[in-house]
Structure 1
Amino acid sequence: MTNAPRDILVVAHAHREDSVAAARRVIAALIAAGARPVLAADDDALVAALSDLAPIALLGFDVPVADVEIAIVLGGDGTILRAAELVRDGTAPILGINMGHVGFLAEIEADVIDDAMQRVIARDYEVEERMTLSARVKDAGGTVIYETWALNEVTVEKASRERMMEVVMEIDGRPLSTFGCDGVVVSTPTGSTAYNFSAGGPVIWPSVEALAVVPLSAHALFARPLVVGPEAAVAIEVLARTDGIGILWADGRRSHDLPPGARVVVRRSDIPVRLARLHPAPFTDRLVRKFQLPVTGWRGPTRAATRVAE
């Protein structure tokens, strides 16, 4: 009786030469270690670019998502978000190798791919779970018309640039405020450094379980960013007097039109996203590195303690 192969998903940005070249290195290392590389069946461009490397299995055809051991992602945050979609129905953690710009979700940079592959093959990594969001949309009559999820954020936005949308916001079943705005962002701690950050929301450490709620360009006296508990339900109703439709976006990847009177309820999802970590480090260090924050003058606890002692 032979052992089942180790199925490892490889996700890369198929239209970037550096990502495809890196995928080749990853797949070669997997094959050499006796593992079976797996590609997304609908990623025709990547499958074609790597067709000379055999054997490669296809996710959903040759390999069910439940059998994937880990997903190795070569790209930026958008590619990592796509990988999260692919493994949503399984338990595979995601190892992000940054081939983009900031790459906040990525664990490592591209210059240490070979070391990373040795760690993956040896199963020498830790897994960190990140909370996700679920979103349910009901029409004015109360019928559920759409459901989705997000790792970073769910946003309710206006569809027409020249018009505001009118919304009423509710927290835990109680109305909070009504205002005109460009939209509302509901973010996880993971997404707090994404759209939420750009909209002026707070940066939330991943170890904190909470949701950030940030109105976008609200025409109101009280429209400040809010931080609510992880079990809170955030509802955003598009008032019937809104001129035109709104749009719901999940991670900037999945969308659905919101007619006047639609109600969007966002809450914590029961299914987390799992991230593989090779070098667990304080989130503060990640912020400083990714945003290139100035820390000149920092003396640290040891030097500070020494100075007090002196």
Structure 2
Amino acid sequence: MASVTAPLRLAFRASDRPEALEALERLSSLYPSVPVAEADVIVALGGDGFMLETLHRTLDRPVAVYGMNRGSVGFLMNDYAEECLPERIAAAGRACIHPLQMDARSEEADLTSALAINEVSLLRQTRQSAKLRILVDGQIRLDELSCDGCMLATPAGSTAYNLSAHGPIIPLDAQVLALTPISAFRPRRWRGALLSHRARVRFEVLEADKRPVSAVADSVEVRGVKAVEVYERRDIALTMLFDAGRSFEERVLAEQFTA
């Protein structure tokens, strides 16, 4: 006797944009749904920011997320369509991503830890440029970087803030991280580096009293940091689903040939 595959249990989440809330109402009337805690797949309705928020909510219970674009930016989302949604999800390809751990120590010696799916960035807080020392695996690689900031980006985040700062686009399976300066002043010719995903990066803030710096891991910000360590959490895996023929890998490749 052939085995019968149980239907996927779907949960719907929407951002606060009117078009996302309208889509939530429509899809909830068309397809049965369950609470998020019981779902096999979460259908996220919104933009890329809402996708990141939804992925953060799955950290304590890994569950696949299928996004549909009802926001302004939809690089991480599938096209919105109401027809045959369970079939689309069942045929979708999977993209597994690993977040970055940020351990930021402030001027008061407090330690704040957070996870970042896109990037961890250090940014100047005042008109004064930031001065950073950068160590990779305990070895000083840049003794002093004068800049607006610097970031370490994941492959999934390489097409976001990292790309706008002229960092490289990274295929999801490349197992590298992008270390990208933001408006570097000195050294003038340094454009960043590609690091192994196993690398541990430490940023030390120089002249912290005169040139305060904040550290941001996605939506978590710590102001007045003195040192920040960043490394990949390979023990945490988050799953996004993409329509057949529209894989995340294909989108990343196509983005590199966009004028």
TM-score normalized with structure 2 length: 0.87
Tell me if the contact between 1:68 and 1:90 (Cα under 8 Å) persists in the aligned partners: no
Q: Which residue of 1 aligns with 2:236?
A: 271
Residue range with higher mean Cα deviation, 184-193 or 266-275: 266-275
Structure 1 regions of 5+ residues with no counterpart? 39-58, 295-310
Q: Secondary structure at the residue paired with 1:293?
A: coil
> Residues 135 and 97 from structure 1, CA distance in 2 versus in 1: closer, same or farther, beyond 3 angstroms?
same
Q: Secondary structure at the residue paired with 1:190?
A: coil
Q: Displacement, 1:7? A: 5.3
Q: Deviations over 1:276-307 (max 9, x none)?
A: 2331546574257668936xxxxxxxxxxxxx
Q: Which residue of 1 aligns with 2:3?
A: none
Q: Which residue of 2 aligns with 1:19?
A: 20
Tell me if the contact between 1:156 and 1:183 (Cα under 8 Å) persists in the aligned partners: yes
Q: Which residue of 1 aligns with 2:178?
A: 212
d(CA) in 2 for partners of 1:281, 1:17: 26
- 1:79 paired with 2:50, answer yes
Structure 2 regions of 5+ residues with no counterpart? 1-6
Q: Percent identity?
A: 25
Q: Secondary structure at the residue paired with 1:19?
A: helix
Q: Which residue of 1 aligns with 2:83?
A: 114
Q: Secondary structure at the residue paired with 2:84?
A: helix
Q: Displacement, 1:240? A: 3.5
Match of 1:171 among 136, 147, 160: 136
Q: Deviations over 1:251-293 (max 9, x none)?
A: 2x2211134xx11011101212211233154657425766893
d(CA) in 2 for partners of 1:91, 1:145: 26
Q: Which residue of 2 aligns with 1:246?
A: 213
Q: Deviations over 1:70-104 (max 9, x none)?
A: 11111110110110111111111110101223411
Tell me if the contact between 1:130 and 1:274 (Cα under 8 Å) persists in the aligned partners: yes
Q: Which residue of 2 aligns with 1:52?
A: none
Tell me if the contact between 2:91 and 2:244 (Cα under 8 Å) persists in the aligned partners: no
d(CA) in 2 for partners of 1:209, 1:169: 21
Q: Which residue of 2 aligns with 1:300?
A: none
Q: Deviations over 1:209-262 (max 9, x none)?
A: 1110011112212532210001001111112355142111112x2211134xx1
> Residues 292 and 171 from structure 1, CA distance in 2 versus in 1: closer, same or farther, beyond 3 angstroms?
closer
Q: Displacement, 1:138? A: 2.5
**Size of the alignment, in residue pairs?**
251
d(CA) in 2 for partners of 1:283, 1:276: 9
Q: Displacement, 1:198? A: 0.2
TM-score normalized with structure 1 length: 0.73
Q: Displacement, 1:172? A: 0.9
- 1:95 paired with 2:66, answer yes
Q: Displacement, 1:206? A: 1.0
Tell me if the contact between 1:287 and 1:293 (Cα under 8 Å) persists in the aligned partners: no
Q: Displacement, 1:68? A: 3.0
